[in-house]
């Protein structure tokens, strides 16, 4: 009886993609998030919703409508609120205008060949709240500002295509790909 045993004697190189993934995270995805916020564009290509007038007044200072009780009866009135001195007068986007939101984006290693883009903990909770949607008197408002847009996805794929083509065209520069023998 004949017997054939197949053994895998091929050693495939391992490739460390982290430098490329960090480039994609920092130079493509985070840059796209910042541009989207600056241009009030959501990651799905639509516009980010405007804040309610009451929210703008609360954030920028002025008078806001308020329900209060006087003499046992509920009444409508106005309450004066102070402006945040770090925000331009009339601004309803203090996290954007002060740079606190965009400076909270960062990338970190998430394991072998994995990079995670996130928001610092001080902004993560409110970001999730806004991303999930807020019910207002005018309906649900979603601020879809965090994620990978089609533009960022295409940019990342184009970047990797160029890097792969460069490695094929210049095989002696494989050290740039951090190739290690298995």
Q: Is 36 left (phi over 0), alpha (psi -120 to 50) or beta?
A: alpha
What pLDDT was estimated at residue 99? 76
The confidence band for 56, taking pLDDT boundaries of 50, 70 and 90, is low
Measure the CA angle with vertex 123, ends 118 and 128; round to 5°. 75
pLDDT tens for residues 59-76?
A: 665 555 555 555 666 555
Helices (H), 61-133: 94-97, 121-132
How far apart CA 99 and CA 93 sit, in angstroms, is 10
CB proximity list for 156: less than 8 A, separation 6 or greater: 24, 28, 29, 148
Measured between its terminal Cα atoms, the distance across the chain in Å is 35
DSSP-derived 3-state class of residue 105: strand
CB proximity list for 166: less than 8 A, separation 6 or greater: 173, 176
Write b or e for each residue in 124-143: b if 16 or more Cβ atoms lie within 10 A of its Cβ, otherwise e: eeebeebbeebeeeeeeeeb
CB proximity list for 178: less than 8 A, separation 6 or greater: 15, 16, 19
What pLDDT was estimated at residue 128? 81
How far apart CA 152 and CA 149 sit, in angstroms, is 5
pLDDT tens for residues 129-176?
A: 778 888 888 788 888 888 899 999 999 999 999 998 888 888 766 545
pTM comes to: 0.69
pLDDT tens for residues 38-54?
A: 888 999 988 888 777 76
Is the pLDDT assigned to residue 95 strictly greater than 80? no
Residue boundaries of the structural domains of the chain: 14-49+93-180, 52-90
Write b or e for each residue in 12-38: b if 16 or more Cβ atoms lie within 10 A of its Cβ, otherwise e: eeeeebbebbebbbeebbbebbbebbe
What pLDDT was estimated at residue 2? 72
């Amino acid at each position: 009886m004949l017997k054939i045993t197949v053994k895998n004697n091929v050693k495939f190189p391992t490739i460390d993609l982290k430098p490329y993934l960090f480039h994609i995270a920092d130079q493509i995805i985070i840059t796209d998030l910042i541009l989207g916020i600056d241009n009030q564009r959501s990651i799905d290509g639509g516009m980010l919703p405007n804040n309610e007038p009451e929210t703008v007044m609360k954030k920028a200072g002025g008078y806001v409508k308020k329900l209060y009780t006087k003499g046992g009866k509920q009444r409508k009135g106005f309450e004066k609120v102070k402006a945040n001195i770090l925000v331009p007068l009339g601004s309803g986007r203090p996290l954007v205008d002060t740079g606190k939101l965009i400076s909270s984006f960062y990338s970190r290693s998430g394991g072998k060949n994995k990079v995670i883009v996130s928001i610092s903990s001080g902004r993560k909770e409110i970001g999730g709240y806004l991303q999930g949607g807020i019910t207002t008197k005018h309906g649900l408002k979603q601020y879809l500002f965090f994620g990978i847009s089609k533009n960022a996805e295409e940019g990342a794929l184009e970047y990797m295509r160029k890097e792969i083509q460069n490695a094929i065209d210049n095989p002696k520069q494989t050290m740039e790909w951090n190739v290690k023998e298995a």
